[in-house]
Every structure is written in structure tokens, then in C-alpha cells.
Chains A and B, each alone.
Chain A
Amino acid sequence: SAVISQKPSRDICQRGTSLTIQCQVDSQVTMMFWYRQQPGQSLTLIATANQGSEATYESGFVIDKFPISRPNLTFSTLTVSNMSPEDSSIYLCSVVTAYQETQYFGPGTRLLVL
């Protein structure tokens, strides 16, 4: 399985500011995804990060709020923009490697917005 790292691991931010989360994989992967896990809840898919093109967003999520980049096959960023306390969540990236259909998850970024 791929080894996935995320930065930062946690952060406390003020409302109205933005935070960029990085996801780095140790090998080239086919697909990368970003999920949100609100406190005590399950995971919700935000978007699929597409290499070299715009991300594909799920219903209820928009690019202005959650811009995503994926400049190559091993790296992606998710920005949480103009944050409010409702954005306090764990944000996880996940990857699918070539010829496998299994998703592997990063350790997550724990975000608290005050």
C-alpha cells in the first residue's frame, strides 16, 4: 500500500482565514480524493483531485470554498477558504493505486476554527 502524509496534522484557525492542507504520496497513484469528517460523523467525499485539471466536486461542495490542486501524480492540496466554525472537521486525503480498487487514507488534518 502507498504511504501517505498530510500537513499540517492539526491547526487552530480564526474565522475568515484560509488554510491549505497538503497530501503527499510516496508513489504514483491513479486517483486522489479529499474527504471531510465532521465531529462524531462519518466521512463525506468533497472532491476527486484530477491531475493537471480542475477537481470534480460532489454535491454541496464548490471550488470557491474548497479549491484543490493536483500538479502531479503524487501531490495534492486542499484549501479551506473563508473559514467558519462549521468547517471544524478532520480532512483526509485518500489514494487509489494503479490496478487496485482499494482506497488508502492519510492520517488526516484536524482543523478547529474559532
Chain B
Amino acid sequence: GNSVTQMEGPVTLSEEAFLTINCTYTATGYPSLFWYVQYPGEGLQLLLKATKADDKGSNKGFEATYRKETTSFHLEKGSVQVSDSAVYFCALNSGGSNYKLTFGKGTLLTVNP
């Protein structure tokens, strides 16, 4: 079956530091990959996605590249801000007409001023 393994947190950084949150996956077929963000007290927001190998998703300064050879989709940001403090979830679906998402456990990021 499908599974997503995320770097365990919590992660604490200073403002303007570089961020990497690792995500690897196991899936059959050709999955699509997603990063969602959950700010305190809110629901999930789609941050970025990639639907095929070598695609790069990007949004709000965050990037992630779909690496089929390493089954990875690591999230990066060059300079984090206090407002980036949130829980980040890596997720996949199996593609095609199967929209069910499999989530990683989530990584709590805290950015200090």
C-alpha cells in the first residue's frame, strides 16, 4: 500500500534560516505528491504539488521537486519567516481517478524572531 514518511519534528529555526523538511514515499503506479500546511487553529491549506517525476512545485518561497529515483519530495525554503510557523504535511494520492490522500505524520515548524 501507499505510505509517506516525514522528518520528525519539532523543527525550530531562527528567522531567515534555510528550511528542509524531508519526505519519502512508497506507492504503486504514478502518484501525485503534495505539501499541505496547517497554521495554528486552522484547517489544511494546499502549499504546493507535483504530478509527475522531475516536476517542481513552488509557492510562497517554498519548493519541492518530485524525485522518482529517490522516491522523495523534500520541502525547502531559503529564508523562513516567523509567519511560516505551522505544521507541514506531505501527502500523496495514487493518481488517476483515485483521489484518496495518504498523509505523513506532519512536522511542526517553529520560527523564532
Which residue numbers of A lie inside 8 Å of B, CB to CB? 1, 31, 33, 41-43, 45, 48, 92, 94, 96, 101-108
Contact = CB atoms under 8 A, between A and B. Distances in A.
B51 interface: yes
B24 interface: no
A42 B100 contact: no
Interface of B: 32, 34, 36, 42-46, 49, 51, 89, 93, 95, 99-101, 103-106
A102 to B, nearest CB: 6
Contacts, number: 46
B98 to A, nearest CB: 9
A101 B91 CA distance: 13
In this complex, which of B32, B43, B103, B104 has the most chain A Cβ atoms within 10 angstroms of its Cβ?
B43
B44 A92 contact: yes
Given A42-B105, A42-B106, A43-B89, A104 B100 contact: no
B43 A105 contact: yes
Q: Is the interface of A mostly helix, strand, loop or mixed?
A: strand
B32 A101 contact: yes
Contact of B101 (A1, A45, A106, A108): A45
B43 A92 contact: yes
Contacts of A104: 46
Contact of A43 (B42, B45, B103): B103
